[in-house]
Amino acid sequence: MKSIGIDLGTCNSCVAEFKDGVSRALVNMVSGKLTTPSVITYPSLLIGQSEKDAPIQNQTVSSFKRLIGRRFTDQEVQEQIKRVDYKIVNQNDQPMVKLLDQVLSPSQISGDFLKQLAKQTNINQNKVVLTVPAYFSHQQKLQTEKAGSIAGLDISRLLAEPTAAALQYDIQSKNKQQNELVMVVDLGAGTFDVSVLEKSGEIYTVLAAAGNNFYGGDDYTTAVKKALADINIEATFKEAEDLKHLLSQAETVDFKGQHISHKHISQQFQALDERLTKPILQTLSDANLKPEQINKILLVGGQTKQMTLENVV
């Protein structure tokens, strides 16, 4: 028997299966990638990298997870309005997305995206587990379940994202520790979440969570783009992102005829790295713990591959 899990991310999403004690991410059959940008265009319902690279104004929607289950007056919604190219309108204090000829709820958009994601990863069963941030409210969880129903999925349960990360670590590392305190540092493309979990036997309990909904890998990509501009190298956002990924694996990279090293971007990264500290300390404080009491730190999310980040944590 196999289980299917879906991580509906703010910027990127992933589908995985767990079978015979082994978990693996499923390839998107359209893109050939293990992750799919959480972007959808209406009315075509096309999703993924192509839509991220060539968005159509008032038709392409991204970062819709930030709106789900929230009130229009919430600070996060007001900040989102400043950052996106599509229109977010107020309907009975609910944020709705206004496109050319329709007004859609965040749960409808999430459901449409999930339905296409399920098709492209060739999921052949409806019963799935969806991950959600540890801080999600009851209303946000309800609307996420509604999105799953719209997609035609049977949501067997919602699982906190840091708990999913800790369980995956246990599976991969064959971790047999019965009682420990684990900190999960999750820095994705668009959000930063820190959680402290207590493990008792095979059960994980989230003790505290903090983060920043508008800070992530995309900020580092923008910093790379600026660093290149400072040495008179023009680059698109996608080129800067690709360079950032290469520099997470090598000290120096040849880019447009020049040798680019970490030295070129480290100053730009320093200010961003400092933004990690406050949520980490806040989480420890909320859990009434000292740093030395943490038994393990799990780094989750693509941006945690950056060489300087581990030292900061």
Domain stop point among 140, 162, 184: 162
Instruction: Examine residue 168 and state whether it is found in any structural domain, yes or no.
Output: no
The residue range of the domain holding 19 is 2-61+111-162
- Shared domain for 181 and 258, answered yes or no, is no
Instruction: Examine residue 91 and state whether it is found in any structural domain, yes or no.
Output: no
- Shared domain for 268 and 122, answered yes or no, is no
Instruction: Examine residue 69 and state whether it is found in any structural domain, yes or no.
Output: no
- Shared domain for 263 and 189, answered yes or no, is no
- Shared domain for 18 and 145, answered yes or no, is yes
- Shared domain for 55 and 7, answered yes or no, is yes
Q: Which pLDDT score is estimated for 22?
A: 85
CATH number of the domain encompassing residue 205: 3.30.420.40
- Shared domain for 6 and 152, answered yes or no, is yes
C-alpha separations of 192 from 68, 218, 230, 279 in Å: 17, 11, 27, 9
Instruction: Examine residue 101 and state whether it is found in any structural domain, yes or no.
Output: no
With a CB cutoff of 8 Å and minimum separation 6, the contacts of 15 are 4, 5, 6, 7, 25, 26, 117, 118, 121, 123
Q: Do 61 and 40 meet the contact criterion of CB atoms below 8 Å apart? A: yes
Please give the tally of structural domains in the chain.
3
Q: Which pLDDT score is estimated for 108?
A: 98
Query: Could you tell me the mean pLDDT of each successive run of 10 residues in the chain, 313 residues long?
Result: 90 93 92 96 96 94 97 96 95 96 96 97 88 94 96 94 90 81 92 93 91 90 92 92 88 90 82 89 95 93 77 74
- Shared domain for 141 and 246, answered yes or no, is no
Q: Which pLDDT score is estimated for 95?
A: 98
Instruction: Examine residue 78 and state whether it is found in any structural domain, yes or no.
Output: no
- Shared domain for 186 and 147, answered yes or no, is no
pTM comes to: 0.90
With a CB cutoff of 8 Å and minimum separation 6, the contacts of 124 are none
The CA distance from 66 to 79, in Å, is 10
Q: Which pLDDT score is estimated for 171?
A: 80
**Tally of CA atoms within 13 A in the half-sphere of 291 that contains its CB:** 5
- Shared domain for 253 and 297, answered yes or no, is no
Q: Which pLDDT score is estimated for 307?
A: 65
Q: Which pLDDT score is estimated for 222?
A: 93
